[in-house]
Structure 1
Amino acid sequence: MAALKDDDGQLVIPAALRRRSLLLLQALAAEAVRRGYEVRQSRSCYSRREGGVDVAVDGFAYAVTVKQEFPQSTNPERSARIVVELDHGRSGRPGRWRDQKCRALEDALGVILGEIEARALEEAQRRKSERRAMAEREVGWRAAMEEARQRVVRDQLAEVLREEAGRWQEAAVLGAYCDALERRLAQQGDAVDEPTMESARRWLEWAHEFVQAIDPLDRLPEMPAPREPTSEELSAS
């Protein structure tokens, strides 16, 4: 308040109105401090014709500005009016007070502070709702990412399963071939010369070894260890 009073570049209005405006702001600041709020030097005055203070309630600061309502009026009654404005007024909420026939501005200071308190409460509730919504979105996002991760891992395991099933199917076909060849050799008897039979037996032996090597069920399979999905895979899933 002392800084505002000594600043000739603010609240440039007729002396009587300036004195009244300063007293009004002083009374508002004193009541705000009495209620436990912080009063700061205002940084929201955009005209030399106005002056004000910032009242902070629970971390939310609101600029209270006083100015001559009709500075250009030649009507003595109109030009003597001052108006108090609360910055950043929300739609549907009061943000401007003036002298009335039944009440001077000085009598409305409690109403102005009440409006600041109401806005601070509203802002706190809004931020609480935003934090709750943000937390819910975070939970939803994490659930979606986990679901996407499970789909990617499932696809990885399914790919391994298809590969093993393909190898198993190939081994089954080749194993059936080996069985058929073995039966054929048993049926030949003396109809085929010994070098030919020996060559066929070596081929059958190699085929059996190959089938055993590629058969995924020749030994118990282990649960595959899937790799961690990439961000691109999660986004595409």
Structure 2
Amino acid sequence: MRKVQSSFYRCEGGVDVVVDGFAYAVTVRQEFPQSTNPERSARLVVEIVHGLTGRPGRWRDRKGRTLEQALGVVLGEIEARAVEDARRRVSEERAREEREVRWRAAVEEAKERAAREQIAEVLREEAGCWREAVAIGEYCDALERRLGELEEDWDERSLESGRRWLAWAREYVRDIDPLQPSRYADST
């Protein structure tokens, strides 16, 4: 059962007919208000505002049919428009829901991409630190061999300075090497 409401506008000669929440402005006016011919000036026109539809919206008194006889057609047209508008509303709501689902999926995908990129950046930084640790470690090995070779030629003070530098460099390598077990120890 459809809910039908109406409101009348005296000075405009119109009424709003509301069917299932959709309002349709219906106006009744003289077709030829300036005519001096009584038959012609008595002819009426009923119009429904077109809105979003391409459906017929105007009915007139004619010799073969009076406007009163066409009122069933006018009411049927209002009913048909209400059905179309209800379908349109459902379609628009479905489209809105689909857009919202796509939006949520896009946001989720963007979050995942951002998290993946952030993790990849950490990985690149750790790989760089690892390369640096490997290079400095190789340097330390070469320095240790060289210190061993020069032990007889250098004085003790120079050798001790070289050994302190080597110890500091090896400690530095342990600090920056991301593969050291101490880097992954639980800090709690």
**Correspondence 1:137 to 2:102:** no
Superposed CA offset, 1:47-95 (max 9, x none): x4x4232211111111221111110012222111111111235553111
Amino acid at match of 1:96: R
Question: 1:37 maps to what in 2?
Answer: 3
CA RMSD of superposed structures (Å): 2.1
Question: 1:175 maps to what in 2?
Answer: 137
Does the CA contact (< 8 Å) of 2:15 and 2:27 recur in 1?
A: yes
Higher relative contact order (CA 8 A, sep 6+): 1
For 2:165 and 2:28, the matched residues in 1 are separated by 105
Label 1:77 to 1:161 Cα distance change in 2 as closer, same or farther (>3 A): same
Select which of 55, 61, 64 maps to 1:99: 61
Question: 2:70 maps to what in 1?
Answer: 108
Does the CA contact (< 8 Å) of 1:62 and 1:86 recur in 2?
A: yes
- Residues 68-87 of structure 1: matches in 2 within 5 Å? 68-87=30-49
Superposed CA offset, 1:120-157 (max 9, x none): 01011111111111111111122222222222222222
For 1:213 and 1:92, the matched residues in 2 are separated by 77
Larger CA deviation: 119-128 vs 197-206: 197-206
Does the CA contact (< 8 Å) of 2:29 and 2:46 recur in 1?
A: yes
For 1:110 and 1:149, the matched residues in 2 are separated by 58
Question: 2:173 maps to what in 1?
Answer: 211
Aligned pairs, number: 184
Amino acid at match of 1:80: A
For 1:90 and 1:147, the matched residues in 2 are separated by 37
Give the SS at the match of 1:158. helix
Give the SS at the match of 1:53. strand
Label 1:220 to 1:64 Cα distance change in 2 as closer, same or farther (>3 A): farther
- Residues 181-192 of structure 1: matches in 2 within 5 Å? 181-192=143-154
Amino acid at match of 1:206: W
Amino acid at match of 1:39: Q
Larger CA deviation: 112-121 vs 131-140: 131-140
**Correspondence 1:155 to 2:121:** no
Aligned structure 1 segments of 4 or more residues deviating by more than 4 angstroms: none
Larger CA deviation: 161-170 vs 150-159: 150-159
Select which of 50, 55, 59 maps to 2:21: 59
Amino acid at match of 1:194: E
Normalization by structure 2: what TM-score? 0.87
Q: 5+ residue gaps in structure 1?
A: 1-34, 223-237
Normalization by structure 1: what TM-score? 0.70
Give identity over the alignment, percent. 65
Superposed CA offset, 1:96-139 (max 9, x none): 11122222211111111110010001011111111111111111
Does the CA contact (< 8 Å) of 2:26 and 2:49 recur in 1?
A: yes
Question: 1:195 maps to what in 2?
Answer: 157
Give the SS at the match of 1:42. strand
Larger CA deviation: 112-121 vs 195-204: 195-204
Q: 5+ residue gaps in structure 2?
A: none
For 2:51 and 2:165, the matched residues in 1 are separated by 93
